[in-house]
Homo-oligomer: A and B are copies of this chain.
Amino acid sequence: MKKKEIGYEDIDFAKIDYLRQERTGQPEVIFCQGKTPEQVVAITESIIRNGGNVLGTKVSDAMYRFVSERVEGVIYNHTAQTFRIMRHEPATTDSYIAIVCAGTSDLPVVEEAYETAVFLGNKVEKIVDVGVAGIHRLFDKLEIIRGAKVVIVVAGMEGALASVVSGLVSSPVIAVPTSVGYGASLHGIAALLSMLNSCTPLCVVNIDNGYGAACQASKINKL
């Protein structure tokens, strides 16, 4: 079969990479922004045809409706703007990823990270709304955060929570700046710069990139 030899399926407007799982331990995922609904369905069908589960990110409600009318078993998370199609259940880890966020408005990014982590077979604990404005809420949840093998911290505005958490735990910390805020938050740039300059060591992904944070966390959680 040609696909096997060349390592991808060529469907004209896309080349679905089915060696990615083997190479990187994680399958190709559909970044839906900028794609037409028809393209997303075709890529989805190709992945399923090749035996994979499907994860779509940055999925609008209209996109979801279009896909779910054509493909079975679509699990939509409206807050996360993701869909999953699980043709087989992945094994789940014993250790867990903690996803910690500063405020309720950060939930869409928390949920994107959550959906991705679950898709990749991880156990996850969510700790929501523990921003530094009421730091006792964070200390109250410290034990559960310290118990994680890797911690994702999601925060907008000034993003201070990431530095604080990273100074309190011994596991690796992945910080996700969010676009929550206004004015000088510059759509998340303020939080991004804050996290990049953290006085405690941590590493950072793109603004609102719950997906990327979960991919890295999953790799670490499975070590």
A223 contact set on B, CB distance < 8 A: 149, 172, 220, 223
B-contacting residues, A151-182, CB 8 Å: 156-160, 163-164, 166-174, 177, 179-182
B-contacting residues, A197-223, CB 8 Å: 197-209, 211-213, 215-216, 219-220, 223
CB-CB nearest in chain B for A168? B23
A155, B219: Cα distance in complex, Å:
22
A76 contact set on B, CB distance < 8 A: none
Q: Are B167 and A133 in contact (CB under 8 A)?
A: yes
A196 at the binding interface (Cβ < 8 Å): yes
A129 at the binding interface (Cβ < 8 Å): yes
A170, B22: Cα distance in complex, Å:
8
CB-CB nearest in chain B for A219? B172
CB-CB nearest in chain B for A78? B36
Q: Are A164 and B193 in contact (CB under 8 A)?
A: no
A201 contact set on B, CB distance < 8 A: 26, 205, 211-212, 215-216
Give the total of A residues in contact with B, Cβ under 8 Å: 97
A24 contact set on B, CB distance < 8 A: 166-170, 200
A35 at the binding interface (Cβ < 8 Å): yes
A37, B181: Cα distance in complex, Å:
18
A190 contact set on B, CB distance < 8 A: 190, 193-194, 196-197
A144 at the binding interface (Cβ < 8 Å): no
A219 contact set on B, CB distance < 8 A: 170-172
Q: Are A133 and B207 in contact (CB under 8 A)?
A: no
A186 at the binding interface (Cβ < 8 Å): yes
A180 contact set on B, CB distance < 8 A: 33-34
A38 vs chain B, min Cβ distance (A): 11
A145 at the binding interface (Cβ < 8 Å): no
Choose one: B28, B174, B191, B208; the contact of A134 (CB below 8 Å): B28
Closest 8 CB pairs of A and B: A183-B207, A34-B105, A17-B134, A201-B215, A160-B160, A25-B170, A190-B193, A203-B203
A12 at the binding interface (Cβ < 8 Å): yes
